Amino acid sequence: MSPHSKRSTLSPPPTPENTTKWNTRYQTPSSFVVSWDEPENQDPQNPQNWLKRTKWTNIIIISVVSFLVPLVSSMLAPAVQLIAEEFNTTSTTFPTFVVSIFVLGFASGPLILAPLSEIYGRVKIYHSTNVLFIIFIVLCALSRNAAMLLASRFLSGFVGVATIAIGPGTIADIMRPESRGKAVSIWAVGTILGPMIGPIIGGYVTEVAGWRWMFWAVAIATSVITIVAMIFLRETYPPVLLERKAVEIRRRTGDGRYRSRLATTVSFLDLVKQSILRPMKMLLCYPVVTILCMYVAVLYGTLYLLFTTYSFVFEEIYGFSTFAAGLVFLAGGFGTLLGLFYIGYYSDRTLRTRAAAGRTVTPEDRLPLLILLPGALTFPMGLFIYGWGAEYHVHWMVPQIGTAVTGFGSILIFTGIQTYLIDAFEGYSASAIGANAVLRGLAGALIPLGGLDLYRVLGWGWGNSLLAFVALAFAPIPVVVGAYGARLRGIKLFDVKIVTSSQDFRYAICAPVRLTDKVTVLMPRPVLQLAHNRIIGSMKWVRRETWLNLHLSRPKSLLKLFPRKPIQVQLLHTSTPLGVVNSSSHLDQHNYSLQGRRVYAKLFRQTEPAHQQVGNILRNIAMLETRWGLEPVMRS
C-alpha cells in the first residue's frame, strides 16, 4: 500500500464545516451554558457582589471558628505534666506530643476536606465538620487513658481544620483582590491568636476546675457558634452556586441541556487524588511555592516548639503556677495583634496606592519591604531575647518581650505569604494553600518533639539561638520573592502530569504543553488500558507492566540550536521503548503546529490500525484547540 493511499484513509483535518460536529461531542452549546447574569459585577447572586454586611457576616463567623479550633491546639500546654501524672505515663515525648498531635490532624485534614468542599460546597463542610469537632472534643474530655486522648486530639484536629483549609478560599470567593488583605488579616486573628490565648484559658480552667473542663468549655462555645453558622452562613463557592442555578433552570424549563459554566464531571476519588497530588506537585515543581512553604513551616514549627516548652521555662525557672504559666502567652498574643493591624493597614494601602497611580497590581505587591523586613528580622530577634533572658534568669518580663517580638514577626510573614499564594496562584489557590498547610502542619507536629532535648543539650540561650539562626537563614527569601516574584513564578522545575482517567489520557497524548526538559505522564495500567481501548485500539503489547511513562524529551539547549526540530513522543516502559516505529513519514502531510513548533506523534505499531490511531489523535487535538480557544492549524 502506497504512502499516498495510507494518508487517504486518515480522518479529514478540522474545517469550519466539520469542527462543530466535534465541538458538540465534547461541549455544551453556548446558549445552554449557565453563568452569572451580565454584567457579572452587578449580579447579586455573585458572592463578590453581595452587600458588605453579608460578606462580613460570613467572614466573622468563619473567623470565630478559626479562633476556637487553633485555641484547642495549645490550651493543653500548661496542664501536660498534670495529665501525664494522671495517666501514669513516663514517656519523655508525651508532654509535647499530646499538644502537637492536634497539628498533625491539621496537616492531613485538608487532603480530604478540600475536595469534599468542591463537590458539596463550603457551607455543608463547615457545618458537618463543626458538629464532628464538638463530638471529638467531648471525647477528649471523657478520655480515660493517654491513647484515647491522643486519638481524640488527632481526630478533632483533622475535622477542625476545615475553616483553616477552606477559609482563605471563602474569602477569595467574596472579596475582590484590593480588599482581600484586610479580610485575610481578620481571619488570621483566629489562626494565630488562638494558639496564643489557648494556654491562658487552659491554665486558668485547669487550676479552677481541672483539665477536662477546658474541653467542655470549648465544646459549649463551638456549639453556640455552630448554631449561629447554620442560621447565617451562606454558600460562596461559585461552581456550586452556578450548578444550583442550572438545576433551577432545568426544573423550570424541563430542558436537561442547561449546564453550569463551571460544571465538572470529576469524581470524588479523582478530586481526592488531585487534592493530594496537586499540592505535592506545586511543592516539587514550583520553586517559589517550595521555598515560601518551607519558610512558613520552619517558623510554624518553631512557634509550636515554644508553645510546648513555655510552661517548663516559667514553672521551673521562675516558679510560676499553672495559671500564671498560661498567662505568659499573652505577650505573644499582644505582639500578634500589633502585627495584624500593621499588615492589614499597609498591605491594602499599598495596593490601592499603586492602583490609583495607574500601575498594574501584581501578587508581589502583597510582599512590600515595609512588611517583609520587619517580619523577617523581628522573629529571630525575639528568639534571642527570649532565650538569653531565660538562660541568665533575668526578670521574667524580658523573655516576655522576646515572645511578643516573635509573635509580631511571625504574623507578618504568615499573613503576607498566605495572601501572596492566594493572589499568585488564584486558579489553584486551594492547592497552594493546601501545600502550605500540609508542610506547616507536619513541621508543627514533629519539630516540637525534640524541643526539650534541644534545651537539655544546648540550654535555653544557645537552643533558642540555634532556632534564631535557622530563621535568619530564611529571612532573605520573602525579600527576593517580593522583588523577583513575577519571574520566579514562571519557573517550573519539571512538568508532571498524573493521569487518573481516560479523559486525562487524551490530554496527555495530544495536549500542547510548555516545553521543558522532560514531561512525564504516569498512569496506572487499568487506566491506560481503558484509555487505549477507547482511543487507539488493541493493548496486546501491555503485559505485566503496572506503570507506563510517556516521555516528551528535548533539552532546552537543543531548542536554541534546532528550534524547528520535531518533538518526539514515545511510549516507554522504564527506559525501553515498546515497539515504537519511526512513522513520521506518515504524518509529514498531516502534522500539528502550535506556536511555530511541529509536533509529530510516533506510532506504537506499524500496522493497518495505525491510520485510525493517527485520525483519533488529530481529532482530539482539534477538540482541544477548540476547547482552549486556539485557531486550528492542520496542514494537508
Check: CB of residue 384 under 8 Å from CB of residue 461. Answer: no
What's the distance, CA 244 to chain centroid?
Answer: 26
Q: Note the pLDDT of residue 563.
A: 36
226 and 370 fall within a common domain: yes
Instruction: Give the other-Cβ count within 10 Å of 593's Cβ.
Output: 12
For the chain, the 3-state helix, strand and coil shares in percent, each to the nearest 5, are 70, 5, 25
- Contact residues for 208 (Cβ-Cβ < 8 A; gap 6+): none
CA distance 10 to 595: 24
Cα 28 to Cα 40, 237, 255, 352: the distances in Å are: 21, 22, 13, 40
Question: Range of 76's domain?
Answer: 46-246+263-489
The model carries a pTM of 0.62
553 and 471 fall within a common domain: no
Cell of 360: 498594574
340 and 449 fall within a common domain: yes
Q: How many independent structural domains does the chain possess?
A: 2
Has residue 382 been placed in a domain?
yes
Has residue 234 been placed in a domain?
yes
467 and 501 fall within a common domain: no
Question: Does 39 sit behind a cis peptide bond, omega within 30 degrees of 0 on the bond before it?
Answer: yes
CA distance 269 to 46: 29
413 and 529 fall within a common domain: no
Has residue 237 been placed in a domain?
yes
Q: Note the pLDDT of residue 224.
A: 95
474 and 562 fall within a common domain: no
CA distance 475 to 281: 25
Has residue 2 been placed in a domain?
no
300 and 414 fall within a common domain: yes
CA distance 120 to 127: 12
463 and 596 fall within a common domain: no
- In this structure, what DSSP letter does residue 366 have? G
What is the domain-level CATH number for residue 58? Answer: 1.20.1250.20
Orientation angle between helical segments 610-627 and 525-535, nearest 10 degrees: 100
Q: Give the strand pairing for 597-601 and 592-594.
A: antiparallel
Instruction: Give the other-Cβ count within 10 Å of 526's Cβ.
Output: 9
239 and 114 fall within a common domain: yes
Q: Which residues of the chain have pLDDT under 70?
A: 1-32, 37, 40-41, 261-268, 270-275, 344, 347-348, 350-351, 354-355, 357-369, 426-430, 485-486, 489-636
Has residue 35 been placed in a domain?
no
CA distance 506 to 510: 6
Cα 53 to Cα 178, 232, 467: the distances in Å are: 18, 11, 43
Q: Note the pLDDT of residue 539.
A: 28
CA distance 313 to 453: 13
